[in-house]
Amino acid sequence: MKPSPLIICIAAAAVAALLTGCGLGQQAVEQAAENAVEQELGEGSDVEIGEDGSVKVESSEGAFEIGTGQLPADWPASVPAVPGLSLVTSYGADGSFGATWEGEGDQRATAEAYVDTLKASGFSDDPDYTAPLPDVWFLVGNGLKVNVLASESGGTTAVVVTATPDTP
């Protein structure tokens, strides 16, 4: 399976951010990353690498962010941020979105409270998924299918949320 051009560009931008952190000239590295992105995604693509190592890639294919602390501008309003956790990564492309939040705390309690918030705002259990999985929730509503996955590692909780159009 061949990776999507957006994934290739994200990887190139992430490597560029690491190189910037190693002391190579930020402007030169950012320009090289932007050239690689434009080659894959076309003219008008943009790569921004922050001094803090954050990376933002925007193109007509979509957007991806690492370490910026922001969701894509067109993130669905019916899918709120996970309260109490910090946004680590986010993306949006072709009407599909995803984000990862991390922080301290009990993963299951954090995710269950978040799922309850989603259910209170118009989502319900997705009837296509009848066999429950531990720490994974499948929801549908507001024209979207939303998946919530919780994990814990070394005392850090991560909650990954994806939202895709609910097409019949």
Domain extents in the chain: 5-62, 95-165
- According to the CATH classification, is domain 95-165 in 3.40.50? no
Q: Which two tokens mark 162?
A: 């994806």
pTM of the predicted model as reported, rounded to 2 decimal places:
0.70
Phi, psi at residue 121, to the nearest 5°?
-110, 25
For the chain, 168 residues long, give each residue's pLDDT as a single digit of tens: 333 444 444 444 444 444 444 444 556 655 665 666 666 666 777 777 777 667 777 777 777 767 678 888 889 999 999 999 999 888 888 888 989 899 988 878 889 999 999 999 999 999 988 887 888 999 999 999 999 999 888 778 899 999 999 987
CB 86 within 8 A of CB 144: no
